[in-house]
Amino acid sequence: MPIESLVSQKGNEKFKLFLKNNGGYIPIEQAAKLLNLNESEVGEMVKMKQLIQITLDDTAYYPCFQFHQNKIIPHLDVILNLLAVSHFVEQCMFFLTPSVDLGHKSVIRALKDNTGLAIIKKQAHQYCIHGAR
């Protein structure tokens, strides 16, 4: 087996574990039911950068951290549209990594708490610039 396959498999397993430790992930059927939408509407939300879709083992899933009380976290779409990065790993890392500027909270925790939106927008813009290099 080529080393690239082993590295990507190991990275994939680590990413799955990372997501499981941060609320897990659900298939499109569950995401649609949770949001009271049909599957094509969920797909449209992804295209419009209103929702994060991840791909694991060639199957689409939706990280649970972006949902709260059967809704999408407020301002998730605003932040997703500020990020130049489109790869789901980078998006998830941005939302789940604690920030000193947010009192060591993650971006997603601050959004759930409805705090720090100006700081988060600035960080998203900076992440955008950093990600574009």
Choose among 84, 63, 79: nearest CA to 131.
84
Q: For 40-76, how does the pLDDT look when each residue is reduced to its tens digit (9 = 90+)?
A: 999 999 999 999 999 998 899 999 999 999 999 999 9
98 and 105 in contact (C-beta within 8 Å)?
Answer: yes
Identify the pLDDT of residue 6: 40
Band the pLDDT of 3: cuts 50, 70, 90.
very low
Identify the pLDDT of residue 130: 53
DSSP 70: T
Q: Which residues of 21-34 are buried (b: 16+ CB within 10 A; e: fewer)?
A: ebeebbebeebbeb
Global pTM value: 0.86
User: What are the structural domain ranges in the chain?
Assistant: 3-131
5 or 12, higher pLDDT: 12
Q: For 119-133, how does the pLDDT look when each residue is reduced to its tens digit (9 = 90+)?
A: 999 999 888 665 444
